[in-house]
C-alpha cells in the first residue's frame, strides 16, 4: 500500500518471476490492474481463456527510440545494458554499430531475441499489433493516456475503489492533472 494505492510485488521481468506469477494465479486473483513485462510471449502464461488480458502500448518512431537509447545507455550506469563505450561514439557511429537495436519491436512481439528475422516475423508482428494492442503514440502521449484511461476505466475504477462520491468531472480533472504531471516530468530527457 503506497499513498492509498496497492501494489503486488511480482517480478515479471524474468521467466522465473513470470512462472511464479502464473503459479500464484496473479491474474485470477484480480490483485493487479496492470501487468508489465519485457517478455511478451512468456508473460502470456499468466493469462488464460477465463482470465484474458488486454494489451496497450505506446509506440514511438524507431529513429527517435534509437537516439534516446544512445543517450540513455551511455549514461545509465545502474542499467545492466549500460555501455560506457558509447560515450566515445558519436550518434552517427552508434547508428552504424552493432550496439544499435535491431528491429526491437518485432523481436519483442514475436519472441525472437536474436537471429535473422524474415517476412513471416514482420507479418506476425503486424497481426499482433492490429488484433491485440490498443495503440497509443509517444508523440501524442497525453491523448494516448486519456484513451487508455477511457478504454480500461481506470478513473472510474479508482472512484469506485475509493468509495468516494466525487463527480465524473472531478475525477476527470484529477486524471487530467495526473497525466499532465506525468507528461511534464517526462521519461525521456533527450528530446
What integer pLDDT is reported at residue 191 of this predicted model?
A: 41
Give residue 115's pLDDT: 92
- The answer to whether residue 190 scores a pLDDT higher than 50 is no
* Cα gap 172→169, rounded to integer Å: 5
Among 5-19, 118-132, 138-152, 159-173, the least confident range: 159-173
Give mean pLDDT, residues 160-180: 67
Other C-beta atoms lying within 10 Å of the C-beta of residue 69: 20
pLDDT band at 138; cut points 50, 70, 90: very high
- Bridge partners of 56, per DSSP, are 134
The average pLDDT across 77-93 equals: 90
Euclidean distance between CA atoms 96 and 77, whole angstroms: 23
* Mean pLDDT in residue range 69-86: 89
- Amino acid 155: pLDDT: 75
Q: What are the residues whose beta carbons fall under 8 Å from the beta carbon of 121, sequence distance 6 or more?
A: 106, 110, 112
- Output the pLDDT for position 189: 47
Cα 22 to chain centroid, rounded: 20
- Percent over 70 (pLDDT), the chain: 84
pTM, 2 dp: 0.70
DSSP letter assigned to residue 172 = H
pLDDT reading at 116 higher than 60: yes
Number of Cβ within a 10 Å radius of residue 62: 12
Question: Helical H runs in 60-166?
Answer: 62-75, 91-96, 104-110, 119-132, 141-152, 154-162
> What's the pLDDT score for residue 2?
52
Q: What is the mean pLDDT of residues 71-95?
A: 90
59, β-bridge pairs: 137
CA distances from 106 to 15, 68, 136, 191 (A): 20, 18, 17, 24
Separation of first and last alpha carbons in the chain: 34
pLDDT classification of 176: cutoffs 50, 70, 90: confident
Q: Using an 8 Å Cβ cutoff, are 103 and 117 in contact?
A: yes
Look at residue 132 and tell me whether its pLDDT is greater than 80: yes
Amino acid at each position: 500500500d503506497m499513498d492509498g494505492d496497492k501494489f503486488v510485488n511480482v517480478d515479471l521481468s524474468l521467466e522465473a518471476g513470470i512462472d511464479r506469477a502464473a503459479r500464484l494465479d496473479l491474474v485470477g486473483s484480480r490483485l493487479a490492474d496492470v501487468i508489465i513485462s519485457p517478455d511478451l510471449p512468456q508473460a502470456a502464461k499468466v493469462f488464460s481463456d477465463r482470465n484474458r488480458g488486454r494489451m496497450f502500448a505506446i509506440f514511438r518512431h524507431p529513429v527517435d527510440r534509437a537516439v534516446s537509447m544512445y543517450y540513455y545507455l551511455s549514461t545509465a550506469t545502474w542499467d545492466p545494458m549500460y555501455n560506457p563505450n558509447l560515450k566515445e561514439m558519436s550518434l552517427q557511429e552508434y547508428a552504424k554499430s552493432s550496439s544499435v537495436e535491431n528491429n526491437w519491436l518485432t523481436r519483442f512481439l514475436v519472441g525472437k531475441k536474436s537471429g535473422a528475422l524474415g517476412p513471416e516475423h514482420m507479418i506476425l508482428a503486424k497481426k499482433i499489433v492490429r488484433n491485440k494492442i490498443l495503440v497509443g503514440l509517444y508523440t501524442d502521449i497525453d491523448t494516448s493516456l486519456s484513451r487508455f484511461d477511457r478504454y480500461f476505466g481506470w478513473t472510474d475504477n479508482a472512484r469506485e475503489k475509493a468509495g468516494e462520491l466525487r463527480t465524473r468531472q472531478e475525477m476527470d480533472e484529477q486524471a487530467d492533472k495526473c497525466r499532465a504531471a506525468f507528461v511534464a516530468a517526462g521519461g525521456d530527457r533527450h528530446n
